Amino acid sequence: MAVDTIPIIDLGPYLAGERGAMDRAAAELRHAQTEIGFYFIVNHGVPRQQIAAVFAEAARFHAQPLEKKMALKLNEHNQGYMPMRGNTLRTSSVQSGTKPNLNEAFFIKRDLPAGHPDVIANRRFRGANRWPDGLPGFRETIVGYCTTMEALVQKMVRLYARALDLPAAWFDGAFAESQFTLRMTHYPPQEGPIDDEFGLAPHTDTTFLTLLAPNDVPGLSIKTQSGKWIEAPAIPDAYVVNGGQMLQRWTNDRFLATPHRAINQSGGARYAIPFFCDSNIDWPIAAVPTCVGPDNPPKYPTTDYTDYMTWYQSRNYDVLKPAASQAAE
């Protein structure tokens, strides 16, 4: 029977160390990731005030004049500001022919110091963040939130390990210094979708794990395995969690990367702060042993974050392309 309801997983007992709670939560996660690909988490330990502060900073950033934001224009490391309609999801296997997405966003990665070897070497996706001037407290608030979220992910990947019948610590090394991105998105109101224009067109994420902060303004919908689009309800203090293409590779398609989209029909502005998380940038991404066998060989070649995301970004981020190449597509 098709699952058309997004399940809710209570992390409280697991995070409190209650006996048996890890495996109970892991079983719920396994069900969610094999049947629908999305779930909510409650009692996750992220303070409500910290989440509210990041939403406030997202609104404060996007309220700046366009020229100030464009001074931080998105770079090849996927850090900085992407203007309205700055990306088109050409790699989507869900829907083709959509218009550029009706949103603007500011991207942050791990806050590496200017003297870090990867920054000095200009290593792809390991640059220094681009911070706005004139917004006191912005950087501190965002870096603090990313630290909180990474710590939560490091606890959650143990549930993924148990859900895959692996030792709880299986992913600990891979996520000891994860590769993450915080996307601070502003969706203006729209009537649509009109002529295939979405706030965010139907797509699947690239990640191992995405956590979307609790949001009072609706807009997210997901496509179930039955092909039905359902709205994600606004549950107080609950994160929406899903996996993406990297999780598919880790699990040899055992866990789902579910299509989803965003359309802001609230009549006002909508902000979203998804936290995208993957393993360490140098970690080889290949199917885990419990997801392969003589009758189930690996479906994907081993890859790494840099190679995969270089391909993905080159196809989808119009803002990084010269005008001539955009016109040719």
Q: CA–CA separation, 45 vs 15, rounded Å?
A: 8
pLDDT score, position 329: 26
Question: Which whole number is the average pLDDT over 160-173?
Answer: 98
- Give the helix/strand (H/E) hosting 62: helix 48-62
- Express each pLDDT in 172-227 by its tens digit: 999 999 999 999 999 999 876 566 778 888 889 999 999 999 999 999 999 999 99
Give the pLDDT band of residue 2 (cuts 50, 70, 90): low
pLDDT score, position 192: 60
* pLDDT cut 90: percent of the chain above it: 81
Residues contacting 138, CB < 8 A, separation 6+: 57, 60, 61, 131, 132
Q: Return the structure tokens found at 202.
A: 């139907």
pLDDT at residue 1 greater than cutoff 90: no
- Going from the C-alpha of 183 to that of each of 9, 72, 134, 146, the distances in angstroms are 24, 14, 20, 11
Give the pLDDT band of residue 85 (cuts 50, 70, 90): confident
pLDDT at residue 324 greater than cutoff 70: no
- Express each pLDDT in 285-298 by its tens digit: 999 999 999 999 99
pLDDT at residue 244 greater than cutoff 60: yes
pLDDT at residue 327 greater than cutoff 50: no
Q: CA–CA separation, 229 vs 115, rounded Å?
A: 47
Q: Region of 212 please: left (phi>0), alpha (psi -120 to 50) or beta.
A: beta
Residue 79 lies in a domain: yes
Q: How many CB atoms lie within 10 A of CB 283?
A: 18
Whole-number mean pLDDT of the chain?
A: 91
For CA atoms 316, 317, 318, 324, the dihedral sign is negative
Residue 2 lies in a domain: no
Q: Is 140 exposed, middle or buried (0-12, 13-18, 19+ CB in 10 A)?
A: exposed
Residue 111 lies in a domain: yes
Question: Which whole number is the average pLDDT over 245-273?
Answer: 95
Residue 3 lies in a domain: no
Q: Which domain holds residue 182?
A: 14-328
* Selection from 215, 222, 226 nearest residue 242 by Cα: 222
Residue 285 lies in a domain: yes
Q: Report yes or no: 41 and 239 within 8 Å, Cβ to Cβ.
A: yes
SS3 187: strand
Q: CA–CA separation, 43 vs 290, rounded Å?
A: 30
pTM: 0.92
Residue 7 lies in a domain: no
Task: Please give the tally of structural domains in the chain.
Answer: 1
CATH code, domain carrying 37: 2.60.120.330
Residue 1 lies in a domain: no
Give the pLDDT band of residue 278 (cuts 50, 70, 90): very high
Q: Report yes or no: 261 and 37 within 8 Å, Cβ to Cβ.
A: no
pLDDT score, position 282: 95
Give the pLDDT band of residue 90 (cuts 50, 70, 90): low
